[in-house]
Amino acid sequence: MARKARKVSARALQPLPRAKTWHARRHSQPSSKWAPGAPRSRSVSPRATCRMRWTIMGCSRPISRRKPSDAPIRGRDRSSRTGNFRVLLYVCGVRQQAETNLLKIGVVLNQDSGALRDGDADEMVRTITDIFHSHRHEPDVKLAKGTDIMEALTAAMKSHRTVFVGGGDGTISTAAGIFAGQKTVLGVLPLGTMNFFARAIGIPLQLDKAVKALLTGEKQQIDSGEVNGRIFVHHVTLGLHPRIIAGRERQRYRARLGKKLAWLKVWWKLVRRAPRMRLALAVDGERSKLKTASLIIANNPFIEKLGGLPHSEVPDRGKLALYAARTRDWRELLAMSAQASLGKWKSNSRLDFLEGAEITIAAESKRLRVSIDGELDYLPTPLRAKIIPNALCVLCPASAETKATAQSGRKRRSRNARR
């Protein structure tokens, strides 16, 4: 006798939704404020006499005293698991981390950067790993030499949505050239000598403070510059500054203090024999001629701040800034540098200041030696620089408004817990 076939509903044939790797699991505990026969406390829901707490676990199946039913709960089906993770982020005050997937982070370190070259690279890797672990994140740390940094950054971009890059401004500039226009979020670890870009977006220079500020920070779209097809994040220099960098690299030094002393020694030697460049400029179509010993093209104008190193005040203003020395006399160059060290750039009486979205520089020679974020290179003339608005997505420390919102949320949760 043939067996009668059972009816199967359409819902039973649908695949069950898979939970994410990390998510919230709901636990129920007997409430300490209620006992059988006693009236329910105000803090206990009339539908369930239990106290709920949220923890990070490996399963998203909700545990409840009531038998699950197919009826929707508060407009959402019980089989939906995505809400638990979002509620956890809201409760913990880390909503900005939801889209960056910060639980698994790629970390690429330039072995030839200042902090790693002067110290123990393996010890630095262990230190960075411990810092990430202390903040409940798992870093995928890759240590690469300067010649292999592009390959390591490309591989990290393909496997991670958020990549922390450790090195100087040159390393960050290389990463920006790879990440520009992509969905990858860039985190900057200031392991270089000057760290101009890290200062520009407000990242602390201490490694542990920098990691904490970025993991609790927020994403921001910032501008990047481009000169002859190469991306830069802070500045491009011509004339005196590239000569000083070339002379400094020829000096022998080991510690960071020796590097700064070599910088001052070479600077004093070359500033008395400053070059003279005859240039033709075009800033947003306006043409002019210029004779200068040193020229800087900055990604957005520098901040006017006493005693601060040059960095942009607003990283998303959408303008390139051009600073050119008006003289090549070494006394005037000393006075110009003194004013710049006091934070006077736009108001410097010995500097010409221009700004625009596109800058073209023509010279008598066929190519010019330039410094792009501290890295020397030769570029053919004319130089064509332009600003690329919102080209790079970076992690920045949380703003004052975000910190205030998170602090008020913590206070509110603390009051609710005491009740």
pLDDT bin (cut points 50, 70, 90) of residue 305 is confident
Domain ranges in the chain? 104-215, 235-391
Is the per-residue pLDDT at 133 higher than 50? yes
Residues in the chain, overall count: 419
The CA distances from residue 130 to 124, 134, 210, 230, in Å, are: 10, 6, 14, 35
85-106 pLDDT, tens digit each: 555 555 554 444 444 444 679 9
- Note the pLDDT of residue 71: 46
Mean pLDDT (the chain) is 76
pLDDT bin (cut points 50, 70, 90) of residue 419 is low
Question: What are the backbone dihedrals phi and psi of residue 17, each rounded to the nearest 5 degrees, phi first?
Answer: -70, 135
Q: Range with the lowest mean pLDDT among 44-53, 150-159, 362-371?
A: 44-53
Strands 104-110 and 162-167: parallel
**Which residues does 267 contact at the CB level (< 8 Å), separation at least 6?**
244
25-66 pLDDT, tens digit each: 444 444 444 444 555 444 444 444 333 333 343 433 444 444
- Selection from 383, 377, 335 nearest residue 359 by Cα: 383
253 and 330 Cβ atoms separated by less than 8 Å: no
CATH architecture of the region 104-215: 3-Layer(aba) Sandwich (3.40)
Work out the average pLDDT over 362-377.
Answer: 92
pLDDT bin (cut points 50, 70, 90) of residue 297 is very high
Kindly provide the residue ranges of all beta strands, DSSP E only, lying in 269-413, ordered along the sequence: 277-283, 286-292, 294-299, 320-325, 351-356, 358-363, 367-372, 375-380, 383-396
Task: Just give the CATH number of 235-391.
Answer: 2.60.200.40
- Selection from 316, 74, 417 nearest residue 83 by Cα: 74
What is the crossing angle of helices 121-134 and 207-215, to 10°? 40
**Side chain identity at residue 298, one-letter code:** A
- Selection from 310, 241, 297, 237 nearest residue 274 by Cα: 241
- Note the pLDDT of residue 1: 53
329-351 pLDDT, tens digit each: 888 888 888 888 888 888 888 89
252-282 pLDDT, tens digit each: 555 556 666 777 777 888 888 888 899 999 9
